[in-house]
Chains A and B, each alone.
Chain A
Amino acid sequence: MTAVLDGIGTAVPRQVVTNDDLAQRLDTSDEWIRTRTGIAQRHIADASTATSDLAFEAAEALLKTAPGSQVGALIVATTTPDHLMPGVAPLVAGRLGLAVPAYDVQAVCSGFIYGLASAAGLIAAGIAERVMVIGAEVMSRIVDHDDRGTAVLFGDGAGAVTLRAGAPDELGAIGPFDLGSDGEHARQLFVETGGTRTPVVDADTQRRRFLTMDGKQVYRHAVRRMTESSQQLLDRAGLTVGDVDRFVAHQANLRILMAVADRLGIPPERRVSNVDRYGNTSAASIPLALADAGLRPGERVLLTAFGSGFTWGSTLMTWPDLQL
């Protein structure tokens, strides 16, 4: 069976933080942030909102447009879970009243593509007829708000899709996939403490529980991996760049996105970007961009992502005729 996308919903926290807001307490400026990243604002969760809250809201938004949708499994892609255990997915399934298989996928910014692949696997194996995949993050909880290098980059949000069992020639069909990782670069995009290697036990380990990034190395690897992965995927599908109507890359940084699209030869009008309004929302960025892109039924969409690990992944789909 082929996985076919048949629903989408999103949620972002109400509070918007602009570049000017950040410039009031950090040594940065709207101009610096815009030219380096393309980001103008981001949505930030309040202290009482956790990842499962945003994931639940996105799921509700989806189910509102698809009443009666029978969900047989739920996958949440996140790197900012509410708790070390359990995962976010069982919490969300519980709130939705779903007693179904539910688990998290942790591939950081590539998580949504990994989640889609995992869902396609459940469908192919006959384990579930319809799977909900939610990319959800509260990145603001793991960012050091005093570090001007990273504080400006990230935002919070969630996006949910449902995939159902279908046929490869249907609108909404997803696949094939190209996935990969290279753990040698684990520390270049890193949260050092708070896990089993180095638990948070004192002020020092407390200080090192924030996200750190070697921006230059991440840029190099992100551009190379997303470009190669997209090319390999197109080869595997027997397609060329000319067959791609819209290009939806993980929304980390506008310049990375443009560098990848330039290398692939994707014309500017086919590139989807909303990083200006949301910042980098990690695993939530691709569904937020899909929902925002004004996609038309039948358009072929190339999705690609890269994140901490390093991990990366790409897939293809045709956009379905959704009643939103």
Chain B
Amino acid sequence: MSPVYDKVKQLLVDKFGVPEEEISPTATFTDLDLDSLDLVEFALAAEEELGVRITDEEAEQLDTLDDTVKLLEQKGATVEGAG
């Protein structure tokens, strides 16, 4: 998996208390019990930690973690110390 995926996974575990074993590329935010405010918080955290901006509209459309990572990578997300 990519460094961005690992970073997203780390955010979900550390910030949202998601059990690590529930996280997989096909898991959706709904599967992980994240609500609409969590998605806003996730977008804010991604902006702070990955340096890309996810709009509220984009955040609402986020489905699986795989899609999320793709969107972040398209936007040029970078992880310090990776690659």
CB within 8 Å of B: which residues of A? 35-36, 215-217, 219-220, 223-224, 255, 259, 262
Q: Are B35 and A219 in contact (CB under 8 A)?
A: no
**Majority SS of interface residues in chain B?**
helix
Q: A35-B35, A216-B36, A219-B37 are in contact. List 18 more A-B contacts (CB 8 A).
A: A36-B35, A36-B37, A215-B37, A216-B37, A216-B40, A216-B56, A216-B59, A217-B56, A219-B41, A220-B43, A220-B44, A220-B56, A223-B41, A223-B44, A224-B44, A255-B37, A259-B41, A262-B15
**B interface size (C-beta, 8 A):** 10
A220 and B15 CA atoms in complex are apart in Å by 16
Chain A residue nearest to B60 in the complex (CB): A216
**Majority SS of interface residues in chain A?**
helix
Total number of residue pairs linking A and B with CB closer than 8 Å:
26
User: What residues of chain A lie closer than 8 Å to B35, measured between beta carbons?
Assistant: 35-36
A185 and B41 CA atoms in complex are apart in Å by 19
Chain A residue nearest to B38 in the complex (CB): A255
CB within 8 Å of A: which residues of B? 15, 35-37, 40-41, 43-44, 56, 59
Least CB distance, B42 to chain A, in whole angstroms: 11
Chain A residue nearest to B59 in the complex (CB): A216
Chain A residue nearest to B15 in the complex (CB): A262
Least CB distance, A175 to chain B, in whole angstroms: 29
A217 and B59 CA atoms in complex are apart in Å by 12
A255 and B41 CA atoms in complex are apart in Å by 9
User: What residues of chain A lie closer than 8 Å to B41, measured between beta carbons?
Assistant: 219, 223, 255, 259
User: What residues of chain A lie closer than 8 Å to B59, measured between beta carbons?
Assistant: 216
User: What residues of chain A lie closer than 8 Å to B37, measured between beta carbons?
Assistant: 36, 215-216, 219, 255
User: What residues of chain A lie closer than 8 Å to B56, measured between beta carbons?
Assistant: 216-217, 220
26 contacts between A and B (CB under 8 A): A35-B35, A36-B35, A36-B37, A215-B37, A216-B36, A216-B37, A216-B40, A216-B56, A216-B59, A217-B56, A219-B37, A219-B40, A219-B41, A219-B44, A220-B40, A220-B43, A220-B44, A220-B56, A223-B41, A223-B44, A224-B44, A255-B37, A255-B41, A259-B41, A259-B44, A262-B15
